[in-house]
Structure 1
Amino acid sequence: MCQHQPACPSADSADREAAHPMVSRPEQGWSLLCNGVVLFEDTGELLPDGQIIAPHRPLRADQVAAAA
């Protein structure tokens, strides 16, 4: 799908979220990246093969301190 130079990371790459957004629907909370990944605002993902990636938000400083 990607026609950028250099090409964006593929959907199966660890850095797939770095691909360029092709469609963005912030009012609905999602973006379609050029590698076919649907990225949700909660950091969850839907890959082109139908695989679901659970949200993976980073912890806030107060959450890190509480876990220690």
Structure 2
Amino acid sequence: MCSHFPLCPSADSPDREASHVISAHPDQGWSLLCNGVVLFEDTGLLLPDGRVVAPHRAPVAA
């Protein structure tokens, strides 16, 4: 899906969240990345093959 240079990381890459946002929907809490990953505001991910990555937000210090 990526058409710019340098190419974005693939959906299987550990740094997949570094891809460019191609469609942002902050009112709904998600964004579509250039590599086909749907990134949710809670840091959860939906990968193009349907796999789900649980939210991985860093713990908040009290």
Normalised by the length of structure 2, the TM-score is 0.97
How many pairs align?
62
Report what 1:33 is aligned to: 33
Report what 1:60 is aligned to: 60
Report what 2:11 is aligned to: 11
Distance 2:15 2:3 in 1: 17
Distance 2:30 2:24 in 1: 6
In percent, how many aligned pairs have the same letter?
A: 69
Divergent runs of 4+, >4 A: none
- Structure with higher helix content: 1
The one-letter amino acid paired with 2:38 is V
Distance 2:32 2:22 in 1: 6
Distance 2:10 2:4 in 1: 12
Distance 2:3 2:12 in 1: 17
User: Pairwise CA RMSD of aligned residues?
Assistant: 0.5
Distance 1:11 1:32 in 2: 12
Distance 2:56 2:28 in 1: 19
Distance 2:44 2:25 in 1: 15
* Contiguous gaps of at least 5 residues in structure 2: none
